[in-house]
């Protein structure tokens, strides 16, 4: 029986810490709390949590800085609690190393599901690198031989489409910002028009999704980026 | 020159001529006739230089008579002995008169030049004062006082005119100095900058004042400065107003942000705790959660309303595809449809539909339309969400088989707070959805329109700017990967 997972909640509002603790009860019984950014960064370094839930609008530090500070010392998954309609903020946070975000007021099952997904993702990542074919949404992806097939039928992808799919799969369970995908596929030094990314995604979906108008593999996070859920 | 001063000059020169004549008459033997003529010539030149043309001419004539009487034989009487003496006398008179004339003209020109220089200098100074330092109101007062003193008028006021109030100018009296007499008692001059009347200049005096050419020129020039000064007053006031608005806007944003934060924190807690309780089988928890959701929507509506009124919605249009947007809309609204089906109509055989639009804002529009459709459509009928190219636009349509919109309401459904007559009182929201949706469409250069659906129901059409992405542009970005 492995030790119980430790979740660190960084939030200046005691009521929200309480609500998050309640919401995560089915995920773990061990929830640590920090009431400000500085304490949160320290607790993330010393307490070795399996997941950090970070609320924005802390009195002492900007959320982006908290993310960066934690990320400098550890690879612990970070879920951000953010306000509605602030995509810029979300993009900045994801670029600063956050793994996912939940909009306030959050739904309890959703937060719990995302927390579980992040913990699981971190654990499988730590256990072994990805090897062998990955099955996702009826799709079989062979990352070593760069092959994609559905129901035994080979699907031909252009090099750029393959790169995008591989990038999203490697980060399965995390939302990648447009910028992060672009950097991974094109590289920072190349000045190709980033906006074509969305056209490539659309073309890629037409090849791999059953219904491209209702995609199940590559999920759009509006105004932020794209995400592939972790294969189960 | 004052009358008194000119009388002094006149008498001075007459006395000098008198003394010179007496002196030369007493020592007649010592002077040649030429010397005498030269002395008188000097006197005439000196007199016309300091006393003007009339004094010069008078002394020339007096000199003519005196030379003839005292210094030409026969002495002591008018008359000329030798014919050659006539030549000397005539030469004196002509020389004296011509030089007087030339001197007078030169002096007049010098005077005119000096006055012009003064005028130019004072205008230049006024100009720089008007346009640069100090408060604009001070510059106006200064210009008024300069005009008053320069023209000798008792009253000079400069009055700004509100934009568009040209009647005030027309009603205020004659616009120009009457050409004939040039005498002015009351005068109103419209002041304009770039053909736009910005104010009036009013001059008034108890008795008519005669303005010479130079003064009129001065007045013409200075009215332009007055107009500029008024314009500056207006611009300064406008700038202050804009600054105040900006500050108010900033404060509003701060208040809204903090209100929404302050309201969301307890709402987040209430919702989460109620939901946790509900999951453990507490019925009250479910009810509390529902009401918390309702409050959350109200807070959002309130924020949206303030944005709608204050122009706070912003769009950042980027290259996006119709399919991506449709997929996101379907995903986001899938919980809403209950038993209804949502059918997407999009041509997957042709190249991806590309447009220039703000993804999140357009998504909000589509979700709002889908939400409305699911609210009004009968459960048995599918709702259709379509996308296609329509000339230079991407056309998204949401079609339902609901009751449609009454003819009389068609133009009003996009107004804030509008509620359809057939809507239930608690349809949930504040009635801002469609007006926000239309605003969001328009700030991206798109449109949102309604039309009745053939066979019953509504069709809402969102048009967004389409873009062409050539296959070669995509190929190019693919090449860079293959080669890299």
Q: Which of A111, A158, A202 sits opposite B478 (nearest CB)?
A: A158
- Name the helix (H) or strand (E) containing A122: helix A108-127
Answer whether A198 sits within 8 Å of B344, measured CB to CB: no
Beta carbons of B405 and B413 less than 8 angstroms apart: yes
Q: What whole-number percentage of chain A has pLDDT above 70?
A: 91
- Residue A6 CA to its chain's centroid (Å): 19
| Backbone Cα Rg of chain B | 47
Answer yes or no: do A157 and A190 share one domain. Answer: yes
What does the pLDDT average to over B1-12? Answer: 82
The predicted-structure confidence for A134-152, as pLDDT tens digits, reads as follows: 888 888 888 888 889 998 8
Answer yes or no: do A83 and A172 share one domain. Answer: no
Check pLDDT > 50 for residue B114. yes
The predicted-structure confidence for A155-204, as pLDDT tens digits, reads as follows: 999 988 999 999 999 888 888 999 899 888 887 655 556 678 999 999 99
Q: How far apart are CA B456 and CA B403, in angstroms?
A: 7
The pLDDT, as a whole number, for residue B423 is 57
Answer yes or no: do A86 and A198 share one domain. Answer: no
Which residue is associated with the tokens 């900007």? A62
The highest-confidence range among B14-18, B84-88, B459-463, by mean pLDDT, is B459-463
The pLDDT, as a whole number, for residue A190 is 56
Q: How far is B376 from chain A (nearest CA, A)?
A: 23
B interface mutation test: which of A19, A105, A157 has the most B CBs within 10 A? A105
The pLDDT, as a whole number, for residue B337 is 80
Q: How far is B293 from chain A (nearest CA, A)?
A: 8
Check pLDDT > 80 for residue B2. no
Q: Which residue in chain A has the smallest CA separation from B267?
A: A105
Interface contact B128, partner A, CB < 8 A? no
What does the pLDDT average to over A95-117? Answer: 89
Kindly give the pairing relationship between strand A78-82 and strand A133-136.
unpaired
- Give, in order, the Cα–Cα distances in Å from B300 to each of A113, A135, B120, B227: 26, 40, 64, 49
The predicted-structure confidence for B24-44, as pLDDT tens digits, reads as follows: 888 877 778 788 888 888 999
Answer whether A205 sits within 8 Å of B363, measured CB to CB: no
Q: Which of B272, B321, B352 sits opposite A22 (nearest CB)?
A: B272
Q: How far is A167 from chain B (nearest CA, A)?
A: 14
Beta carbons of A77 and B268 less than 8 angstroms apart: no
Answer yes or no: do A122 and A13 share one domain. Answer: yes
- The domain tally of chain A equals 2
Answer yes or no: do A30 and A115 share one domain. Answer: yes
The pLDDT, as a whole number, for residue A192 is 54
Among A93, A127, A161, the domain boundary falls at A127
> What is the average pLDDT score of chain A?
86
Answer yes or no: do A210 and A176 share one domain. Answer: yes
pLDDT band, residue B174 (cuts 50/70/90): very low
Which residue is associated with the tokens 């992060």? A180
What does the pLDDT average to over B261-270? Answer: 83
The more confident residue out of A230 and B157 is B157
pLDDT band, residue B171 (cuts 50/70/90): very low
Among A127, A159, A178, the domain boundary falls at A127
pLDDT band, residue B484 (cuts 50/70/90): very low
- ipTM of the shown complex: 0.87
Beta carbons of B259 and B298 less than 8 angstroms apart: no
The pLDDT, as a whole number, for residue A162 is 92
What is the pTM for the complete model shown?
A: 0.63
The more confident residue out of B429 and B160 is B160
Check pLDDT > 50 for residue B211. yes
Answer yes or no: do A27 and A105 share one domain. Answer: yes
Answer whether B276 sits within 8 Å of A223, measured CB to CB: no
Beta carbons of A97 and A70 less than 8 angstroms apart: yes
Q: Which residues of A touch B273 (CB under 8 A)?
A: 18-19, 22
Answer yes or no: do A106 and A182 share one domain. Answer: no
> What is the average pLDDT score of chain B?
82
Check pLDDT > 70 for residue B56. yes
Q: What does the block give as tokens for B69? A: 């009487």
Answer yes or no: do A88 and A42 share one domain. Answer: yes
The pLDDT, as a whole number, for residue B181 is 54
Check pLDDT > 60 for residue B479. no
Q: Which residues of A touch B265 (CB under 8 A)?
A: 13, 15-16
Q: How far apart are CA B463 and CA B386, in angstroms?
A: 12
The pLDDT, as a whole number, for residue B132 is 64
Give the CATH number, domain containing residue A180: 1.10.10.10
pLDDT band, residue B404 (cuts 50/70/90): confident
Answer whether A15 sits within 8 Å of B363, measured CB to CB: no
The pLDDT, as a whole number, for residue A208 is 93
The pLDDT, as a whole number, for residue B462 is 96
Check pLDDT > 70 for residue A1. no
The more confident residue out of A227 and B192 is A227
Interface contact B471, partner A, CB < 8 A? no
Q: Which 283-342 residues of chain B touch chain A by CB within 8 A?
A: 292-293, 296, 300, 318-321, 323-324, 326-328, 330-332
Answer yes or no: do A55 and A161 share one domain. Answer: no
Check pLDDT > 80 for residue B1. no
pLDDT band, residue B483 (cuts 50/70/90): very low
The predicted-structure confidence for B215-226, as pLDDT tens digits, reads as follows: 777 788 888 878
B interface mutation test: which of A111, A202, A225 has the most B CBs within 10 A? A202
What does the pLDDT average to over B327-340? Answer: 86
Q: How far is A222 from chain B (nearest CA, A)?
A: 6
Check pLDDT > 70 for residue B15. yes
Q: Which of A84, A87, A192 sits opposite B480 (nearest CB)?
A: A192
Check pLDDT > 50 for residue B122. yes
The pLDDT, as a whole number, for residue B481 is 47
- Name the helix (H) or strand (E) containing A43: helix A37-46
Check pLDDT > 60 for residue B133. no
Answer yes or no: do A101 and A146 share one domain. Answer: no
Answer whether A20 sits within 8 Å of B260, measured CB to CB: no
What does the pLDDT average to over B124-138? Answer: 69
Among A127, A144, A163, the domain boundary falls at A127
Answer yes or no: do A179 and A85 share one domain. Answer: no
Beta carbons of A203 and A218 less than 8 angstroms apart: no
Give the CATH number, domain containing residue A40: 3.40.50.2300
Q: How far is A223 from chain B (nearest CA, A)?
A: 5
The pLDDT, as a whole number, for residue A90 is 86
The pLDDT, as a whole number, for residue B144 is 83
* Domain of A161, in residue numbers: 134-228
Least confident stretch, B71-75, B162-166, B396-400: B162-166
The pLDDT, as a whole number, for residue B76 is 76
Least confident stretch, B69-78, B99-108, B253-262: B253-262
The predicted-structure confidence for A43-97, as pLDDT tens digits, reads as follows: 999 989 999 999 987 888 888 999 999 999 888 999 998 876 577 888 889 999 9
The predicted-structure confidence for B353-370, as pLDDT tens digits, reads as follows: 999 999 999 999 999 999
């Amino acid at each position: 029986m492995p030790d119980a997972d430790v979740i660190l909640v960084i939030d200046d509002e005691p009521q929200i810490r309480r609500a998050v603790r309640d919401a995560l009860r089915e995920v773990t019984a061990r929830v640590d709390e920090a009431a400000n950014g500085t304490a949160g960064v320290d607790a993330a370094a010393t307490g070795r949590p399996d997941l950090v839930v970070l609320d924005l609008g802390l009195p002492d530090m900007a959320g982006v800085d908290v993310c960066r500070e934690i990320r400098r010392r550890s690879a612990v998954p970070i879920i951000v609690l953010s306000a509605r309609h602030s995509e810029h903020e979300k993009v900045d946070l994801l670029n600063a190393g956050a793994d996912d975000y939940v909009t306030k007021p959050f739904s309890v099952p959703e937060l719990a599901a995302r927390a579980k997904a992040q913990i699981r993702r971190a654990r499988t990542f730590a256990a072994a690198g990805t090897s062998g074919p990955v099955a996702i949404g009826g799709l079989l992806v062979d990352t070593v031989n760069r092959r994609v097939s559905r129901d035994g039928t080979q699907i031909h992808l252009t090099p750029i489409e393959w790169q995008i799919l591989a990038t999203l799969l490697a980060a399965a369970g995390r939302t990648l910002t447009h910028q992060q995908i672009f950097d991974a596929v094109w590289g920072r030094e190349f000045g190709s028009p980033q906006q074509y990314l969305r056209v490539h995604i659309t073309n890629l979906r037409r090849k791999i999704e059953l219904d491209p108008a209702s995609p199940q593999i590559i999920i759009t996070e509006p105004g932020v980026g794209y995400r592939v859920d972790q294969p189960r | 020159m004052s009358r008194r001063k000119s009388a002094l000059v006149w008498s001075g020169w007459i006395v000098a001529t008198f003394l010179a004549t007496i002196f030369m008459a007493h020592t007649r033997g010592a002077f040649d006739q030429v010397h005498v003529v030269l002395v008188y010539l000097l006197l005439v030149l000196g007199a016309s230089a300091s006393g003007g043309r009339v004094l010069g001419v008078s002394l020339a004539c007096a000199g003519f008579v005196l030379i003839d009487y005292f210094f030409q034989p026969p002495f002591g009487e008018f008359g000329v002995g030798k014919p050659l003496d006539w030549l000397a006398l005539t030469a004196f008179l002509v020389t004296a008169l011509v030089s007087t004339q030339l001197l007078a003209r030169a002096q007049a020109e010098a005077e005119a030049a000096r006055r012009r220089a003064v005028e130019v200098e004072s205008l230049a100074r006024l100009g720089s004062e008007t346009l640069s330092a100090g408060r604009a109101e001070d510059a106006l007062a200064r210009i008024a006082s300069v005009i008053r003193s320069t023209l000798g008028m008792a009253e000079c006021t400069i009055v700004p005119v509100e934009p568009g109030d040209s009647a005030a100018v027309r009603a205020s009296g004659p616009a120009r100095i009457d050409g004939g007499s040039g005498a002015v008692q009351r005068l109103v001059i419209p002041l304009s900058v770039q053909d736009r009347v910005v104010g009036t200049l009013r001059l008034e005096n108890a008795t008519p004042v005669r303005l010479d050419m130079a003064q009129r020129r001065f007045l013409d020039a200075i009215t332009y400065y007055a107009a500029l000064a008024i314009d500056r007053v207006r611009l300064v006031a406008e700038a202050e107003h804009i600054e105040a608005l900006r500050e108010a806007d900033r404060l509003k944003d701060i208040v809204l942000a903090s209100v929404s934060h302050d309201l969301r924190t307890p709402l987040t807690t209430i919702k989460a705790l109620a939901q946790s309780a509900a999951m453990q089988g507490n019925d009250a928890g479910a009810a509390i959660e529902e009401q918390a959701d309702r409050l959350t929507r109200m807070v959002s509506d309130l924020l949206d309303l303030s944005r709608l009124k204050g122009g706070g919605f912003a769009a950042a249009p980027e290259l996006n595809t119709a399919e991506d947007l449709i997929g996101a809309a379907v995903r986001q609204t899938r919980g809403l449809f209950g038993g209804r089906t949502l059918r997407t109509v999009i041509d997957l055989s042709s190249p991806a539909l590309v447009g220039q639009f703000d993804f999140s804002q357009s998504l909000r529009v589509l979700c709002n339309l889908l939400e409305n459709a699911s609210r009004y459509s009968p459960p048995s009928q599918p709702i259709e969400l379509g996308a296609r190219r329509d000339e230079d636009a991407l056309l998204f349509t949401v079609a339902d088989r609901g009751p449609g919109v009454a003819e009389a309401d068609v133009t009003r459904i996009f107004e804030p707070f509008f509620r359809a007559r057939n809507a239930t009182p608690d349809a949930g929201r504040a009635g801002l959805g469609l007006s926000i949706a239309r605003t969001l469409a328009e700030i991206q250069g798109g449109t949102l329109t309604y039309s009745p659906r053939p066979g019953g129901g509504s069709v809402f059409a969102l048009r967004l700017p389409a873009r062409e992405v050539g296959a070669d542009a995509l190929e190019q970005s693919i090449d860079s990967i293959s080669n890299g």
